Amino acid sequence: MIESIHIKNLGPIKDISIDHIKPLTVLIGESGSGKSTLMKAIALFRWIYKMHNIRSYLKHSNISKSPFRFRMETYFKNCGFEQFITEKTEIKYNLKFKSGNSYSIEYKQNKLNGTGSSDLIKEADLYFNKVSFISETRNIIPIWSEKGSSSGGMSLGFYFNELFADFYLASEAIKELELKFLNLKFAVKQTKLGKKYTIKSTSDDAFDIDFKNSSSGTQNSVPLLLITQYFSKNFSFEDAFNRSVLTYLSSTNDLTSFKAIKNLSEINKKIYIHIEEPELSLYPDAQNKLISDLIEKCFIGNGNPIELFFSTHSPYVINHLNLLIKAFDKNKLVDGAKIRYENLAVYQVSGGKLENLMVQNQRLVNTNPLSETINETYDQYNAL
């Protein structure tokens, strides 16, 4: 399956195309360059396509009434795109399968068209997907969790609400999580007052503190690693399917009419994880080890099929990816991770456009554009 997207005139994005979204895709660029806008747009259209898969599955299974109504103004508001959308905004999301079948969702002239409006997805091409977006607001979780709420906080916005829901589910399934790159362990305990989250040292200097009192790097790292671990090994497609499909059929008294065209085990599955700046508040060495941990969870030690998409401001992270490419080519592991060059894409976002940093004939990521600030500082130093 080849997944692609083309976006024009969406906030800071002028004209961007990704012809093949790879299993690991990374964006780097200045603040306000459009990294989060691009990632949110991709996550949104992946979610819309997920809904069309469910609708197609139901129609193939003798359920004619659709449970979904697509209101793009609501979705754009959730993404924070209200002031970005104009009559010139265009977004086209496309998937092409080995069978030759392709499906498109296109937003143009304030309308959703293509597969997004009427066409059914063929039985052989059906996917049941999970889309997760781990926003930079994850550092609020330690304080928010003190409230003992499992539903998130609507006042903190759509993305935090979705993020906290994933964090809560993950903390139900995982009671301990190793933070190897920090020599720490995250632990979940059930008390009379609800869940208690703690951070423990795994070094000789032992301590045990509340999660909310840990360092900012720890508070930013735990949610993304816990959620990734959960989707990697603990997430149940069957439970998610029951929540999104069978619960709906029961509520509409259509369960007796339901004639499953396929068992869930026969349907393609994928988990899409999107992360804003995984390296937040971490020292360069810890940044690199965190990236190795993420890649190990998503592509090496995973039980579920996962694709990872993240944005970063860190040249250290991009340099580390070159090390992981070399590790794959040499059949070695670096902090438990390696990445195949063909499964990776790295783009620099600048001026509303994308620059592909992959150097195919050398099997590496071009990091030269990321050294400009260091070179300028060096030139200024020499001038002084």
What tokens does 310 get?
């993240």
* CATH number, position 309: 3.40.50
Q: Which residues are paired to 190 by β-bridges?
A: 195
Could you tell me if 263 and 190 lie in one domain?
no
Could you tell me if 83 and 144 lie in one domain?
no
* Number of residues in the chain: 384
Could you tell me if 204 and 56 lie in one domain?
no
Residue 312 lies in a domain: yes
Could you tell me if 62 and 30 lie in one domain?
yes
Q: How many CB atoms lie within 10 A of CB 112?
A: 18
Could you tell me if 20 and 121 lie in one domain?
yes
Q: How far apart are CA 276 and CA 112, in angstroms?
A: 27
Cα diameter, the chain? 81
pLDDT 10s digits, 287-304: 999 999 999 999 999 999
Could you tell me if 122 and 253 lie in one domain?
yes
Question: What was the pLDDT predicted at 150?
Answer: 47
Residue 229 lies in a domain: no
Query: What phi and psi, each to the nearest 5 degrees, are found at residue 279?
Result: -85, 5
Residue 55 lies in a domain: yes
Query: What phi and psi, each to the nearest 5 degrees, are found at residue 358?
Result: -80, 130
Q: Which of 122, 68, 72 is nearest to 97 (CA)?
A: 122
Could you tell me if 152 and 275 lie in one domain?
no
Could you tell me if 277 and 373 lie in one domain?
yes
Could you tell me if 6 and 60 lie in one domain?
yes
pLDDT 10s digits, 194-246: 889 999 998 877 789 999 999 999 999 999 999 999 999 999 999 888 877 77
Domain carrying residue 242: 2-135+236-383
**Residue 285 in 3-state DSSP?**
helix
Question: What was the pLDDT predicted at 153?
Answer: 45
Distances (CA, A) of 381 to 76, 81, 279, 374, 376: 46, 42, 29, 10, 8
pTM equals 0.93
Residue 231 lies in a domain: no
What tokens does 172 get?
């139900």
Instruction: Decide if 192 contacts 148 (C-beta within 8 A).
Output: no
Question: What was the pLDDT predicted at 227?
Answer: 98
Number of independent structural domains in the chain: 2
